């Protein structure tokens, strides 16, 4: 697997679980790198079932949201699947306001999300 | 504590070329009623912008702001400062962004002016529209308007003035289900 600096990746069976290194995802260079690393999971590492676990993420800007949207498009193109979990209430609220809660499948916990993949 | 008027801490450097926002009908809190104020012209550099956002966050926390109130201000000011530097000044190092931050335990006032061409906020596409909801971009301005008590652009569109009241009842209905 290619080297990652902004994300920590682990495999739960066929599901690729992604955690974030940064508590606050705001720095523009870090966001660009995050976007590249997320995309490379799909394009280079050929992962198609991804779970983004936001545990520990305190804040993210809309520039970071855009990287999630881009990842979602990349996954759609390969008939992949994406879920999100462990969003703190304020970040979940951002998804709700921007209606991105309709674009992403957001689950409360990692076990819940993993179970939902297996349905 | 830094919240008593008598101990108010006001910072300013560089010369502000414009007075506090008058064209918006928004209440501009007088500096001596606030616990902390900062008026500064910063270069069009995102790192410098983020340093000033952190200053604001520190002072809000010092003034007892927390939770959703603090998150909402961080989100709005993050989007506003990044927009001013990237879309307004287009990261032109010859241009500055003027910041006017004012904090009290009850209120946060933020006025941001860039030296760009401005824009018409009403011309932005609706990012919640089915057609665009899964497309990147266009969410910053929407979040600013949704998360602040008031947010007003000047006519040219190069100046954003916003206020967030702490414990603003307008935001209670969006508490997580």
What is the tens place of the pLDDT at every residue in B154-177? 999 999 999 999 999 998 866 554
Q: Which residue of A has its CA nearest to B85?
A: A28
Spatial neighbors of B145 by CB under 8 A, at least 6 apart, are B151
What is the tens place of the pLDDT at every residue in B92-120? 999 999 999 999 999 999 999 999 999 98
**Residue B28 Cα distances to B2, B111, B142, B162, angstroms:** 20, 10, 22, 10
Instruction: Report the percentage of chain B scoring pLDDT > 90.
Output: 68
Per the CB < 8 Å rule, is B75 touching A59? Answer: yes
Does residue A1 form part of some domain? no
CA angle in degrees (0–180, nearest 5) for B77-B81-B85: 170
Strands (DSSP E) contained in A7-115 are 7-12, 15-20, 24-25, 49-53, 59-60, 81-85, 105-107
> Distance from B58 to chain A by nearest Cα, in Å?
15
For residue B42, give the CATH number of its domain. 3.30.565.10
For residue A72, give the CATH number of its domain. 3.30.750.24
Does residue B176 form part of some domain? no
Does residue B27 form part of some domain? no
Task: Say how many domains are in chain B.
Answer: 1
- pLDDT range class, residue B19, cuts 50, 70, 90: low
d(CA A106, CA A87): 8
Q: Which domain holds residue A104?
A: 7-117
Task: Say how many domains are in chain A.
Answer: 1
What is the tens place of the pLDDT at every residue in B35-66? 999 999 999 999 999 999 999 999 999 999 99
> Distance from A90 to chain B by nearest Cα, in Å?
6
Does residue A2 form part of some domain? no
Per the CB < 8 Å rule, is B142 touching A97? Answer: yes
Does residue B71 form part of some domain? yes
Does residue B152 form part of some domain? yes
> Distance from A100 to chain B by nearest Cα, in Å?
7
Per the CB < 8 Å rule, is A66 touching B142? Answer: no
Does residue B28 form part of some domain? no
Does residue B52 form part of some domain? yes
Q: Which domain holds residue B64?
A: 5-16+33-166
Does residue B85 form part of some domain? yes
């Amino acid at each position: 697997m290619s080297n990652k600096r902004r994300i920590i990746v682990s495999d739960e069976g066929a599901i690729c679980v992604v955690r974030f290194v940064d508590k606050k995802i705001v720095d523009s260079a870090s966001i660009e790198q995050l976007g590249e690393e997320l995309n490379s999971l799909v394009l280079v590492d050929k992962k198609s079932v991804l779970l983004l676990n936001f545990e520990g993420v305190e804040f993210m800007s809309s520039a970071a949201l855009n990287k999630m949207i881009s990842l979602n498009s990349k996954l759609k193109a390969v008939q992949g699947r994406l879920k999100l979990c462990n969003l703190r209430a304020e970040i979940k609220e951002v998804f709700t306001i921007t209606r991105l809660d309709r674009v992403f499948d957001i689950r409360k916990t990692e076990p819940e999300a993993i179970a939902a993949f297996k349905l | 504590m830094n919240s008593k008027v008598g101990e108010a801490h006001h910072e300013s450097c560089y010369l502000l070329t414009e007075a506090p926002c008058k064209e918006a009908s928004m209440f501009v809190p007088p500096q001596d009623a606030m616990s902390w104020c900062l008026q500064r012209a910063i270069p069009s550099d995102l790192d410098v912008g983020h340093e000033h956002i952190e200053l604001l966050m520190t002072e809000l926390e010092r003034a007892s702001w927390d939770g959703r109130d603090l998150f909402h201000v961080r989100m709005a000011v993050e989007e506003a400062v990044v927009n001013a530097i990237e879309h307004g000044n287009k990261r032109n190092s010859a241009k500055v962004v003027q910041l006017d931050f004012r904090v009290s335990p009850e209120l946060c006032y933020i006025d941001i002016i860039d030296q760009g061409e401005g824009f018409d906020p009403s011309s932005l596409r609706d990012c919640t529209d089915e057609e665009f909801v899964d497309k990147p971009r266009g969410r910053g301005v929407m979040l600013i308007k949704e998360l602040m008590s008031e947010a007003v652009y000047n006519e040219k569109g190069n100046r954003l003035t916003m206020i967030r009241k702490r414990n603003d009842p307008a935001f209670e209905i969006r508490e997580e289900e």
